[in-house]
Amino acid sequence: MRQVIFLHFLLGILTCLSVVSIVKAEDPYVYLNWVAEYGEASPLGVKQRVILINGQFPGPTVNVVTNDNVIVNLENKLDEPLLITWNGIKQRKASWQDGVLGTNCPIPPNSNWTYKMQMKDQIGTFTYFPSTLLHRAAGGFGGFNILARSVIPVPYPKPYEEFTVLVSDWWKNDHKELQQILDSGNTLPMPDGILINGQPRSTSFDVVPGQTYLFRVSNVGMMTSINFRIQGHTLRLVECEGSHTMQEMYESLDIHVGQASSFLVTLHGHGEFKDFFIVASTRFTKPILTSTAILHYQGSKSSASGPLPIAPTYHIHWSMKQARTVRWNLTANAARPNPQGAFHYGTIPVVRTIVLENSAARINGKLRYAINKISYINPDTPLKLADNFNIPGVFTLNSIPDSPPATGPTILGTSVIGTALHDFVEIVFQNSESTVQSWHLDGNDFWAVGYGSGKWNATLRRRFYNFNDATTRYTIQVYPYSWSAILVSLDNKGMWNLRSANWARRYLGQELYVRVWNNEHSLFTETDIPPNALLCGKAKQA
C-alpha cells in the first residue's frame, strides 16, 4: 500500500528529486507468518479447546517500530471463518486491513490471507485478537507493541527490560459452548477465573534488583474490568494507549476491557531479596476473582508471601476519579517529533454531537444488545466493499439517530454513521444500565475528555470536560448509570468499527460503523482496494 502511494509520488516528481533519496525514505518491512489452529490447554485445571497462534497461547508478541510495514500472512486452520483485528492500530488510509466484518470478508477455513499494514505515526501498547464469532473467548490474542524510532526520544529513561502482560477473564467452557449460551438467548455466566499471560497463578517475571522495568498491561478479556497492582511496589504510569501521560505514581490502576496502560516499576536495590505478587483482580463483580503472577527477584531466597495488596472493591467513584488523573504530557514527544500540545483540541469547534445509549432487549424472544435501540446485524457483504463497488441495498447512511429515541421498540439494523473527512465530532456514551461498559473506535484515536454520573446534557461540558490535557486513547469505559464523552478528529478516511469491547454485547449487536468520507478519489486520502482483497456476498459478482 505504501508502495502504491510511493509510486504515484515518484511519477509526479521524478524530475525534481533524485531517485536515491526517495528510495532511502522507504520504511522497513516486517514479515510474519501466522497459523491459527485449535489446541488444548488447561489454564484453570480443566482441559479445554483453545486457539493457538503458531502453537502459542496467548499468541506471539509483536514488537515493531513506528512507520514499519507489517505483513501478516494468516492461515486459518480453524473450522470457522476467521478475522484478526488489530486493537488500536489506526490502519491509516486503509480500513481494508482492519480485520472486522464491516471491512473484510472472513478468511475461510483452510485458507490464508495477507494483511499489509503500516504503523503510521503510532507508538505504544496495542493488542490483536480474533474479531469473528466468539473466537476471542478461546484465545488467539496477543500483545502488539510499537516502539519509537531511535531518532524520537521517549519521555522516560530506557527500561532495563519490557514485559507484555495480558490479563483476561476466562471460562472453562470453550468459545462454541459460550456462543451457544448467547445464541439460546441467555447472558454469559460469571467468568471462572482471571489469567495473566494465559495462567491464573504461575506466570513469573524474572527481574534484577535495582533495575527499572516497563510493564505493558492490556485487558484482553471478554467483559470484566480489572485492577492491576504489584505487592511492595508502585506503578509510574508513562503511556496509555499510545499517549505519553503525566508520570503519576499509582498503588493500583483500573484497566477496562480492551484498554492498555504501561508502567515503569523500579525494583528495590537493597536488603534481602524476596519475590512479590503481581495481582490482577476483577472490578465491579461479586465475588471478586483474583489472579497472581510472580515478580521473581534474581537471588531471591523466599517465595512471594503475605497478604495481597488491597484493591478498591465496588467503588465506582474511586475509579472515575482515577480516570480523570490520567493526563497528557503536553511537552513529551509523540511518534512524530513535534510536541503534542501544539494540537489544541479544546479550541476546535465541534460540528456534530452524537449521543449513543447502550441497552439490552429481547427481539423474537432472543437477547440482543443495542445502540440507540438498533441492534447491529452484519450483512453478507462487507460495508467497505459495498462502498467500493457501489453495491446498493447493503446499508443506509445515518439510519441510526444521533441521540437515543425516547420511545419505540428495539430493532435489528445495519447502523452506519456518515461523516465527512476531518469532521471534529463529540460522542457521548450514555450508560443507563447497571454494568460498566467499554467502547472502542477503530481507525481514529480520540480525546477522552469527560466522565460523569447520571444523564449527560450539554451544560455538563463546562463543568466536567478536560479541554486541556486529556489523553488520546482508543477504548473508553462508561460507569454504571453514567456517561463518558470523547472528542474525535475524523482524519482517517474509511469505514470504522465503533463497538462495545464487551464481547458478548458486541456479538449480540452492540456495534456500528462510522464512515469517514469525501468524494475525491485520491491515494493521498485513501489507498485503493488491495489486489488480494477477499470478495464475498454481493461483492463476489462485482
Ligand X SMILES: *[C@@H]1O[C@H](CO)[C@@H](O)[C@H](O)[C@H]1NC(C)=O
Residues at the contact surface with ligand X, assessed by CB under 6 A: 73, 112-114, 155, 246-247, 329, 331-332, 454, 457, 459-460, 532
The nearest distance, CB 132 to ligand X, in angstroms, is: 18
**273/269 Cα distance (integer angstroms):** 9
Which among 452, 435, 447, 515 has a CA at the least distance from the CA of 476? 447
Exposed/middle/buried for 296, CB within 10 Å: 0-12, 13-18, 19+? middle
- Buried (b) or exposed (e) across 1-24, using 16+ Cβ within 10 A? bbeeebeeeeeeeeeeeeeeeeee
Task: Kindly state the smallest distance separating residue 17's Cβ from ligand X, in Å.
Answer: 33
Nearer to ligand X, 149 or 176 (CB): 149
What minimum distance in Å lies between the beta carbon of 157 and ligand X? 10
Of 247 and 432, the one with the shorter C-beta distance to ligand X is 247
Q: Measure the CA–CA gap between 449 and 423, rounded to whole angstroms.
A: 17
Residue among 390 and 459 whose Cβ is closer to ligand X: 459
* In the complex, least distance from residue 158 CB atom to ligand X, rounded to whole angstroms: 13
Q: How far is the CB of 73 from ligand X (least distance, A)?
A: 5
Alpha-helical (H) ranges within 337-446 are: 383-388
Which residue's CB is nearer to ligand X, number 247 or number 388?
Answer: 247
Bridge partner list, 276: 295
Q: What is the grid cell recorded at 147?
A: 516502539
CA–CA distance from 384 to each of 84, 96, 101 (Å)? 17, 8, 9
Least spacing, CB of residue 473 vs ligand X, in Å: 17
The secondary structure of 29-43 as a DSSP string is: EEEEEEEEEEEEE-T
**φ and ψ at 358, to 5 degrees?**
-85, 150
The distance of closest approach from Cβ of residue 296 to ligand X in the complex, given in angstroms and rounded to an integer, is 29
Find the residue with minimal CB distance to ligand X: 155
Rg (CA), the chain: 23
Tell me whether residue 332 or residue 374 sits nearer to ligand X (CB atom): 332
The residue (of 285 and 329) whose beta carbon lies closer to ligand X is 329
Q: Which of 127, 118, 107 is nearest to 59 (CA)?
A: 127
Please state the φ and ψ torsions of residue 126, each to the nearest 5 degrees. Answer: -135, 175
What are the cell numbers at 1?
Answer: 500500500
**Number of other CB atoms surrounding residue 164 within 10 Å:** 22
Q: How far is the CB of 338 from ligand X (least distance, A)?
A: 13
Closest approach, Cβ 29 to ligand X, in A, equals 15
Nearer Cβ to ligand X (166/323):
323
134 phi, psi to nearest 5 deg: -110, 30
Cell, residue 118: 503500516
